[in-house]
Amino acid sequence: MKRINIAIDGPSGAGKSTAAKAIADELGIICLDTGAMYRAAGLKALRLGVDPCDAENALRIMADTDVDIIYCDGVQHIMLDGEDVTDKIRTQEVAQAASDISKIPEVRIKLAAAQRAFAQKYDVVMDGREIGTFVLPNAEYKFFVTASVEERARRRYLELERKGALDGKSYDDIKAQIETRDYNDSTREFAPLRCADDAVVIDTTNMDEAQVCAAIIDAVRAKG
């Protein structure tokens, strides 16, 4: 049986994860947030005091690292060496470590293999940076979800403010962090953030979550 594989790529803060979850719910299929896997790898490096840019040591610890995804009542939980770290990977420090460790080709190859196995087993909406270009180049449905850096920084600022997690950071600090990650993710040599030639581009700068979700679902249904 042919699996439904929907690839959603794009830069940080463009609304991919929120859209992916809503679409998976609407279609009754699973959603895999691949960024969470890189975040778990980044967390492991931080915990062991290993510089995530130091490929040799990062690879040494990754050889002994188990990153797994499980679902409880349809909600994704990310497991690091058997520990549920879902609530521990959403800090800015872990995000940067994830971005750094994700530049190492062998780390990507290991996590991409797990993601491909997942897509063979389940109908899935997968969001990341290079799902349509590298992980699932044959996915039937590919989207590139983006937004202006100002809008992405505004959303992230409001989200952190709502959670009381700004830690004294200004809008400009958040914008600079997003720009650094964009640069990192799109200039790495191996499987960078890139829009697949056959992806549908959705610029969410002036769209709300419901509109983004509707645009993707309409495109999936139109294709059949």
Does residue 98 bind ligand DC (CB under 6 A)?
Answer: yes
**Which range touches ligand DC (CB under 6 A), out of 53-61, 80-88, 94-102, 155-163?**
94-102
Does residue 146 bind ligand DC (CB under 6 A)?
Answer: no
32, two tokens: 């895999």
Of residues 164 through 193, those in contact with ligand DC by CB under 6 A are 181, 185
Rounded CA-CA distance 211/194 in Å is: 23
Does residue 100 bind ligand DC (CB under 6 A)?
Answer: no
The site map against ligand DC for 6-45 (x = CB under 6 A) is: ------x---------------------xx--xx------
Q: Which residue has the tokens 């983004």?
A: 212
Does residue 156 bind ligand DC (CB under 6 A)?
Answer: no
Least distance in angstroms from the C-beta of 1 to ligand DC: 26
Closest CB to ligand DC among residues 39, 220: 39
Helix H or strand E encompassing 132 = none
* Residue ranges with strand state E in the chain: 5-9, 30-33, 67-72, 75-80, 83-84, 124-128, 141-146, 200-203
Rounded CA-CA distance 202/220 in Å is: 13
Query: Which burial class, exposed, middle or buried, applies to 144 when counting CB atoms under 10 A from its CB (0-12, 13-18, 19+)?
Result: buried
Does residue 151 bind ligand DC (CB under 6 A)?
Answer: no
The site map against ligand DC for 104-143 (x = CB under 6 A) is: ------------------------xxx-------------
